[in-house]
Amino acid sequence: MKTQKINKLTKSILVGILATSVILIFTSCEKKVKFLNSSVVPAAKGTVTVNQDKNKNYVVKVKIVDLAEVERLQPEKQTYVVWMETESGNTENLGQLKSSASFFSKQKTASLETVSSYKPVRIFVTAEQDINVQTPDRKVYLTTDTF
């Protein structure tokens, strides 16, 4: 009877270790990084999440709250663009932030989800006159540290 209790205990411990290992593997593949505080848009707060998908591409999700409306900027701009600095030192245009506001809240949110074959090392946001720009404006509104 003691042997059966020991076997059940050993089995329970092994199942617990296996479950913990699986959780760690899946969560360790995801990086979640906060944007640094900005003197240009001090109320804005946000995060960037980067995962690698089954095709070895990088899924980049950007979420920002309380970002000033782009029309209120001086000088006025047309859109916010998210940029990625890659491991090789290139800068890639990831796309336009999509803005929205909740019906029940005055809080403004902006988000972008995209996929890239390049590994990001830093994400930043600029305000631009056109979504199709090839180089970012010098004025950076939000940025992450390198990761």
Tell me what pLDDT residue 14 has: 75
Q: What is the CATH number of the domain that holds 136?
A: 2.60.40
| Domain presence at residue 130 | yes
| Domain presence at residue 69 | yes
Q: Tell me what the pLDDT averaged over the chain comes to.
A: 88
Tell me what pLDDT residue 17 has: 78
Tell me what pLDDT residue 24 has: 55
Tell me what pLDDT residue 84 has: 97
| Domain presence at residue 23 | no
| Domain presence at residue 5 | no
| Domain presence at residue 35 | yes
Which DSSP string do the residues of the chain spell out, in sequence order?
A: -HHHHHHHHHHHHHHHHHHHHHHHHHHHT-EEEEPPP-SSSTT-EEEEEEEE-TTS-EEEEEEEESPPPGGGSSS--SEEEEEEEETTS-EEEEEEPEEEE-SS---EEEEEEEEESSPEEEEEEEEES-TT-SS--S-EEEEPPP-
- Cβ contact 92:86 at 8 Å: yes
Intervals of the chain under pLDDT 70 = 1-6, 20-29, 102-105
| Domain presence at residue 24 | no
Tell me what pLDDT residue 112 has: 97
- Cβ contact 65:56 at 8 Å: no
Tell me what pLDDT residue 74 has: 87
Give the global pTM: 0.78
Tell me what pLDDT residue 104 has: 65
Question: Looking at the 3D structure of the chain, how many domains does it have?
Answer: 1
For tokens 């074959």, the residue is 117
Tell me what pLDDT residue 26 has: 56
Measure the CA–CA gap between 37 and 23, rounded to whole angstroms. Answer: 31
36 is in which domain, residue-wise?
31-143
| Domain presence at residue 16 | no
> What tens digit of pLDDT does each residue of 59-76 get?
999 999 999 999 888 888
| Domain presence at residue 57 | yes
